[in-house]
Structure 1
Amino acid sequence: MKNGLIFKNHSHKTLLGCTLLLSLPSFAEDQPLQDMSDPLAVYSQAGVGYTDKGINIKFGQAYDTGEDTTMGMNIIEIKGIAGEEFGWNGEARASNDNSIDSIRFRNFGVDLTNGRGTQLDVEIAFTDNNGAQGSASYSFMQALPKMGPVNIYPLAGVGVAFGETFDGQRQGDAQMSERWDLHGTFYVAGLYSKIEVTDKIWLNYNPMYLGTISGADNYKQYGMQGDDTVFLHEASVSYQFNTRSNIRYYANWSENERYRNGDHRIEVNYQF
């Protein structure tokens, strides 16, 4: 059911995505090309992905932080466009409509003197069963010294979960309310990692462990995929065509979901 206070129909979702895109700062001028395999690299970019739940589009814009030792970047992603029409997963196509599945906004900051980064990550997902549900987190990352072909970037942060609520005791008998609630808070700890295979091919594995901290009893006990904690996995294989473009295959799954039943996508990225 998608009749929340501000996300009442598909056009509102699209309007929100367009508003976020227009709010991004201007492309950084005269920005040197960055290593697109580096999780802490900051650069202006665009990408399009073909996923099991539809089409994804991504825009990233680097901006001037006002300091020579830092760099900043905003990224907006609109996911699951026309999932019923284009998604290759039959089950996902049956459960999705031809609107969008979720919207994600991230802000990255990097200190060039010590390899430390920050990440603001906001995502809102639209589902028939739970209405619009979102999360916002703020994390710190640190690049560790390279170990042969391996780079590791530990991450830790905290966040809040929010979204539409149901009236009534049982979800099956409830109606979506016209109210958005702050469900509770959570922590996240994990890492980004990169394994260099050749100068054009690399692998990434990004495990994340999340757990509830505070909030309503229902959220604290079941807010992480039916439990109070969850272990998430993301893996990718990438090939760099040239200094400006690459193609990447991603898979996302969790301790409660097999790899083959997770989210899969093929994404092409271009650096401006």
Structure 2
Amino acid sequence: MHSNVLKLLPFSIIAALSWPVLASDDNLQDMSDPLAVYTQAGIGYTDKGINIKVGQTYDTGKDTTMGMNVLEAKGVLGESLAYRDHATDSFDSIRYRNFGVDLTNGRGSQIDVNYSFASEMGTASYSLIQALPKLGPVQLYPLAGLGVSFGNNIDQTLSENGITGTDFGSGYSIPGTFAVVGMYSKIEVTDKIWLNYNPMWLTTLSGDSVWYKDQYFAGSSNILTHEIAASYQINPRTNVRYFANFSQDVAFDRGEHRVEVNYQF
């Protein structure tokens, strides 16, 4: 299935990039703001291959709110370009996000869906984000939300792992739910350089099987993940960013690392 999607991906990206009209410099958004909403495209190199990202704003019907959809394909050409042993040339996962921002109070909402083609498993969550007043060079954006984990043919996967007696049935099902609490943060170094630290704590709400915890929470009922980023604004439309993602169970050097370039239309 995903090989067909991969063939269509370049055409969908071309179509996405053909929609926007370049905004005037006066209307450009601050690309360092985690709640900024703007039409964009990005490409990045990771330890699993190439990531390709497109984002498109849309009309919410209200002058006081803004909305944006972002689609990201991850791990393209992983076997050829990456240094992970398990990488393949087909993209290994996809991420879809929908952002909404209320301009009157600095409150945002986020739908975040992640899906792995290799495991046929994923997560979907809904979170609320609040921008707090800036304290010198630091601004915090606390976040809280709820989510579900889902997968395809989970009974078969469990049976292959020696677990019987479950009744998820064939097709896609939901083995568990979770809550997430965390924050985005921005530390302004100069007018062109900034840092981010984004910790997220996830805990199971339902789905207490050992397998579920192993697959989604590294064998525990909860997990603390970390994301750090260093960014440079090349010009008002373009930036380059370095990201590192790791957790309480995955050391920094064994985590996911990527460099990406983003452009605002």
- TM-score using structure 1 length: 0.86
Given that 1:28 and 1:63 are in contact with CA atoms closer than 8 Å, whether structure 2 keeps it comes out as: no
Asked if 1:114 corresponds to 2:100, the answer is no
Task: Rate the CA distance shift 1:168–1:211 in 2: closer, same or farther, 3 A.
Answer: closer
What is the percentage of aligned positions where both structures have the same residue? 54
Give the C-alpha shift of residue 126 in structure 1.
Answer: 2.4
CA, structure 1 residues 161+21, in 2 after alignment: closer, same or farther (shift >3 Å)? farther
Q: Would you say the 8 A contact 1:26–1:63 is kept in 2?
A: no
| 1:229 equivalenced with 2:222 (yes/no) | yes
Counterparts of 2:48 and 2:67, CA distance in 1: 30
For residues 67 and 85 of structure 1, the distance between their equivalents in structure 2, rounded to whole angstroms, comes to 46
1:27, distance to aligned residue in structure 2 (A): 3.8
Task: Go from structure 1 to structure 2 and tell me whether the alpha carbon gap of 1:143 and 1:57 turns closer, same or farther (over 3 Å shift).
Answer: same
Structure 1 residue 47 and structure 2 residue 42: aligned? yes
Tell me which residue corresponds to 1:268. 261
- Superposed CA deviations along residues 200-254 of structure 1, whole A, max 9, x for unmatched, are 0000000000011013634664441211100000000000001000000000001
How much has 1:25 moved relative to structure 2?
A: 11
| Cα gap change, 1:100 to 1:209, in 2 (>3 Å) | same
Separation in structure 2 between the aligned mates of residue 269 and residue 189 of structure 1, nearest angstrom: 27
Amino acid at match of 1:256: D
Instruction: Give secondary structure in 1 for the equivalent of 2:117.
Output: strand
Aligned mates of 2:15, 2:151 — CA distance in 1 = 24
Structure 2, gaps ≥5 residues long:
164-168
- Residue 156 of structure 2 corresponds to residue 161 of structure 1: no
Q: Distance in 1 between matches of 2:89 and 2:243?
A: 22
CA contact (8 A) 1:183 1:219 kept: no
Task: Give TM-score, length-normalised by structure 2.
Answer: 0.88
Could you list the runs of 4 or more consecutive aligned residues of structure 1 that deviate by over 2 angstroms after TM superposition? 9-31, 166-174, 215-223
* 2:116 corresponding residue in structure 1: 125
User: What is the distance in 2 between the residues matched to 1:219 and 1:199?
Assistant: 47
Q: Structure 2 counterpart of 1:144, which letter?
A: L
Contact 2:16/2:56 (<8 A) preserved = no
AA at the equivalent of 1:118: S
Report SS of the residue matched to 2:146: strand
Q: 2:206 maps to which residue?
A: 214
Distance 1:157 1:16, change over 3 A: farther
The 3 A distance-change label for structure 1 pair 249 and 168 is closer
Q: Structure 2: how far apart are the matches of 1:244 and 1:148? A: 25
Tell me the equivalent position of 2:76.
81
Does the 8 Å contact 1:213/1:220 carry over to 2? no
Letter in structure 2 aligned against 1:208: M
- How many angstroms does 1:154 deviate by? 0.1
Return the letter of the residue paired with 1:76: L
3-state SS in 1 of match to 2:44: strand
Secondary structure of 1:167's counterpart equals helix
Distance in 1, Cα, partners of 2:220 & 2:7: 32
Report the residue type matching 1:155 in the other structure.
L
